[in-house]
Amino acid sequence: KMAGSSAPWIGSAYLFLQSTCKTIILPSLYESSQKKPSVFKALKLALADSTGSVNGVDMLKVHCSHPHLIVQLKFCKRENCRRFLQSYREGALQKSLQNHLQLLLALSTVPLEMELKAGSEHLDNMLKDEDRCLDCIYREKPDRLRDEEITELEECLKSLILHQNINNNMPSKDCMSPSSPTAPSQGSSHSPQVTFLFQGQQFANRTLTPDDHQKFAKFVSKKWKQVGRSLQKNCRALRDPVIDNLALEYDREGLYEQAYQMLLRFIQSEGKKATIARLVAALEENGLTSLAEELLGLHSNDDSS
C-alpha cells in the first residue's frame, strides 16, 4: 500500500435531493435568484455538519433536473468522506438539511428524499459496507472544476461568516449584496465577453451549436487531438489520458467520430461555457484559421486558398 501522504485521497459523488411535499420544488427554489443564496447556504451548512468541517466536502456544481436538485460533491480526505457517509447513513445529514432549509426559507417543514450515487453505483444499496462505498467514491474522480456560480456563492457566504456566527439566521437578500447581481449568471466569469475579436471583427460569443459540432468533426481531420489539448488547459474533462483513450476507442470509426467525441466531452462538461470563442481560440492556436472562418460563416467571402 502507498503511504497516505504520497497522494491526496480524492473522490466524487452525486447527491440527489427531492422534496416529498408537492408545493416545495427544490430546483425551482434554486433557480430563483432570491431563494438561491438560502438554498445554497442550507446545503453548505448541512454538508459542514455532516463532516464536522466547513471544508470537509466541496460542492462543484448544483444541477437543476426537475424534480431533483443534484449536487456534485468532491472529497479530498478519506476521513471526511467516511464522516459524511456515516451522517448520510444515520439520517443526520437529511435532518440537518431539512432544518437549515426550514429556517432559511421560513417554511414550516421541508420533507426530503435523498439518494447518493458514484458513477453508475447506487450507494444507498451498500451503505452498511462503508469501505465499498469509499472505494466507489474514490474511483470516481471529479470531472470538472468548481462552477463559477458556486465560487460566487461561496465568496458571498464567506464574507458574511466573518461578520456573524455560522448558525445565525440571515435574510437571503443580504447574501447577494457583496457578490454580483442576482439574475442569470450564465457561467459568466468564464466568458465575460459577450463578443470576441477574430481577424479584426467582432463576433457574438455564443454557446456551441450542433451545427458547429458537426462542422468541426467534418473538417478538423488529424488535428483534432491538438485542438483537444488546447481546450484541455481550461477543461478538466479533457485532461491527459482522455484524448489518447478517445483515439483508441474510436480508432475504427475514423477521424470524424474521434473529433466528434472529443468535442462532445468538452460540450457536456462545460455546458454554457462551451463557447465559440474558446473553440476558435483553440483552432487559431493550431493554425486552423480556415475552420474557424467556416464556423463563423466567413467562407462565402474567402474560399480561395
pLDDT tens digit sequence for 215-266: 999 999 999 999 999 999 989 889 888 999 999 989 999 999 999 999 999 9
**What was the pLDDT predicted at 247?**
92
What pLDDT does residue 184 have? Answer: 36
Q: How confident is the model at residue 12 (pLDDT cuts 50, 70, 90)?
A: very high
How crowded is residue 262: how many other Cβ atoms within 10 Å of its Cβ? Answer: 27
**Residue found by looking up cell 480524492 in the block:** 10
Average confidence score pLDDT of the chain: 85
Model confidence over 166-211: pLDDT tens digits? 444 444 333 433 333 333 333 333 434 588 888 888 888 999 999 9
Confidence label for 162 from pLDDT (cuts 50, 70 and 90): low
Which three cell numbers, joined as nine digits, stand for 208? 456551441
Find the distance separating the first CA and the last CA of the chain, reported in whole Å. Answer: 59
Q: Across the strands, what pairs with 114?
A: 17
Torsion of CA 296, 298, 304, 305, to 10 degrees: -30
d(CA 52, CA 80): 8
- Amino acid in the structure at residue 95: K
How far does Cα 304 stand from its chain's mean position? Answer: 42
User: Per CATH, the architecture of 11-152 is what?
Assistant: 2-Layer Sandwich (3.30)
What number of helices (H) and strands (E) belong to the chain?
A: 12, 7
pLDDT at residue 174 in the model = 39
d(CA 287, CA 82): 49
Residue 197: Cβ-neighbour burial (10 angstroms; 0-12, 13-18, 19+): exposed
Predicted local distance difference test score (pLDDT) of residue 276 = 95
How high is the pLDDT of residue 89?
Answer: 96
Comma-separated ranges of CATH 1.10.533.10 domains in the chain: 195-296
Question: Where are the CATH 3.30.70.680 domain residues in the chain?
Answer: 11-152
Please name the CATH architecture into which domain 195-296 falls.
Orthogonal Bundle (1.10)
- Tell me the C-alpha to C-alpha distance, in Å, between residue 188 and each of 143, 175, 191: 20, 19, 5
Question: Per-residue confidence at 161, pLDDT binned at 50, 70, 90?
Answer: low
